[in-house]
Copies of this chain bind each other. A is one copy, B any other.
Amino acid sequence: MGLIVQKFGGTSVRDRDCLFRVARIVADTRNAGNDVVVVVSAQGDTTDDLLVKAAEITTDPSHREMDMLLATGEQISIALLAMALQEIGVPSVSLTGWQAGFATDRTYMSARIKRLNTERLESELARNRVVVVAGFQGLNKSEDITTLGRGGSDTSAVALAAALHADRCQLFTDVEGVYTADPRKIPKATKLKEITFDEMLELASLGAQVLNNRSVELAKKYGVELEVISSLNPVPGTIVKEETKVEGMLIKGVAKDENVAVISILEVPDVPGMSFKVFSLLAQKKINVDIILQSSGRDGKKDLIFTVPKTEAENAKRILEDNKTRFNGGEVLINKNCAKVSIVGAGMQSHSGVASTMFEALFGQNINIHMISTSEIKISVIIDAVDADKAVAAIHDAFIQ
């Protein structure tokens, strides 16, 4: 007996059959004695269809009007899912983002939730109804519709779970949980029973596209227990929470990120403030820098080497070259044929031998390492892109049986 928030993405509600499959999952959860709040995204291709309609009108739409347009997608889903639930005998009611009390800031297309007024929601739950809430959307102070941007429905679900003190927030996807590696590429990849928020955050930012980072951060902040679970086969998935039982396995996953480019600025003066000058330039242009490596100075010069998203690489190079005089820099080189491979697991730093096992696995495949970065819970290496899949397989073999 508890309160469960269940979130279903666009693929899970894309047509009649999918909607009834979701309705039955919700009905089962309710029949097990739980109150249920369901959060849904827009159906399948609805959002893309709406984007096409807007693109036919203008290449530069007002963000306010885009949100007005896009918010219809989830509104369609909630109405249809409420109908499907009623059709199988589950009392239910749909609520738009604003009806469900999502108050956001004024940033259209990527608004942040400021407050959640759960009055209406709680009164509907008190009437013993399943409440179907439109994810991804809210209302700003001017009473205009806003959307939360990419991954917004996950964020909506976690925010609801936090505000309602739900016992669990289940995020239904097309995978059965969080795996030690991408199961389509590494057949031996196994599903994790549990993972910590921090591990999940590292895995997510490393390219394991299971959960949106913002929703994991929010869950961590408010202590909302998450479950990543399949809507096609709703057996227990992976629980994401603050602390996990110590399992045999230290390494929770091996992840690959191919959206990486290495930029080298050769021979910048080896004086204080150089890094600041370079990286504040990029930060101003909202370019995220990930791994940074600095050669030790020689003859009053040093090299700065760092990674940026591959999609930002040319942009970053141009900015640096345009501002060369600011750091008296030499050549700016760019290498887009690389990839980042990482292992994630809480407490790995206190276990000696983790890094060396990883490097040994790469050496065994004759893979050259360009850069290394370590943190409390992860070790990342930058290698040639062509070696990436081979590297993941070898590392996975070395750590996980």
Interface residues in chain A, defined as those with a beta carbon under 8 Å from any beta carbon in chain B: 15-16, 19-20, 50, 53-54, 56-58, 61-62, 64-66, 68-69, 71-72, 75-76, 78-80, 82-84, 86-87, 93-94, 96, 99, 120, 143-145
Q: Contact check, A75 vs B68: say whether CB atoms are below 8 A apart.
A: yes
How far in angstroms is the closest Cβ of chain B from A46? 10
Total copies of this chain within the assembly: 2
Q: Contact check, A120 vs B94: say whether CB atoms are below 8 A apart.
A: no
Q: Which residues of B contact A53 (CB under 8 A)?
A: 16, 76, 80
Cross-chain pairs A/B with CB under 8 angstroms, 30 sampled: A15-B56, A16-B53, A16-B56, A20-B57, A50-B76, A53-B80, A57-B80, A57-B84, A57-B87, A58-B84, A58-B87, A61-B86, A62-B83, A65-B79, A65-B82, A65-B83, A65-B94, A66-B79, A68-B75, A68-B82, A68-B94, A68-B96, A69-B75, A69-B79, A69-B83, A72-B72, A72-B75, A75-B75, A99-B143, A99-B144
Bound Cα distance A122, B348 (Å): 62
Q: Which residues of B contact A54 (CB under 8 A)?
A: 79-80, 83
A86 nearest CB neighbor, chain B only: B62
Bound Cα distance A91, B351 (Å): 62
How far in angstroms is the closest Cβ of chain B from A56? 4
How far in angstroms is the closest Cβ of chain B from A371? 44
Q: Which residues of B contact A20 (CB under 8 A)?
A: 57
Q: Contact check, A82 vs B62: say whether CB atoms are below 8 A apart.
A: yes
Q: Which residues of B contact A57 (CB under 8 A)?
A: 16, 19-20, 80, 83-84, 87
Bound Cα distance A198, B145 (Å): 41
Q: Which residues of B contact A145 (CB under 8 A)?
A: 96
How far in angstroms is the closest Cβ of chain B from A126? 14
Q: Contact check, B80 vs A75: say whether CB atoms are below 8 A apart.
A: no
Which of A15, A78, A79 is most buried by chain B, counting CB atoms within 10 A of its CB?
Answer: A79
How far in angstroms is the closest Cβ of chain B from A314? 29
Q: Contact check, B93 vs A64: say whether CB atoms are below 8 A apart.
A: yes
Give the top 5 A-B pairs by smallest Cβ distance, nearest first.
A69-B79, A72-B72, A68-B79, A16-B56, A58-B87
Bound Cα distance A120, B99 (Å): 19
Bound Cα distance A247, B20 (Å): 62
A142 nearest CB neighbor, chain B only: B120
Bound Cα distance A62, B145 (Å): 25
- Given A16-B56, A56-B16, A99-B143, the answer on whether A86 and B72 have CB atoms closer than 8 Å is no
Q: Which residues of B contact A82 (CB under 8 A)?
A: 62, 65, 68
Bound Cα distance A120, B141 (Å): 13
Q: Which residues of B contact A79 (CB under 8 A)?
A: 54, 65-66, 68-69
Bound Cα distance A254, B120 (Å): 53
- Given A57-B16, A72-B72, the answer on whether A65 and B50 have CB atoms closer than 8 Å is no
How far in angstroms is the closest Cβ of chain B from A363? 56
Q: Contact check, A69 vs B80: say whether CB atoms are below 8 A apart.
A: yes
A145 nearest CB neighbor, chain B only: B96
Q: Which residues of B contact A71 (CB under 8 A)?
A: 75
How far in angstroms is the closest Cβ of chain B from A49? 10
Bound Cα distance A77, B382 (Å): 48
Q: Contact check, A120 vs B93: say whether CB atoms are below 8 A apart.
A: no
A123 nearest CB neighbor, chain B only: B142
Q: Which residues of B contact A56 (CB under 8 A)?
A: 15-16
Q: Which residues of B contact A64 (CB under 8 A)?
A: 93
- Given A84-B58, A120-B143, the answer on whether A72 and B65 have CB atoms closer than 8 Å is no
A87 nearest CB neighbor, chain B only: B58
**In-complex Cβ contact of A78 among B66, B68, B96 (8 A):** B68
A134 nearest CB neighbor, chain B only: B68
Q: Which residues of B contact A87 (CB under 8 A)?
A: 57-58
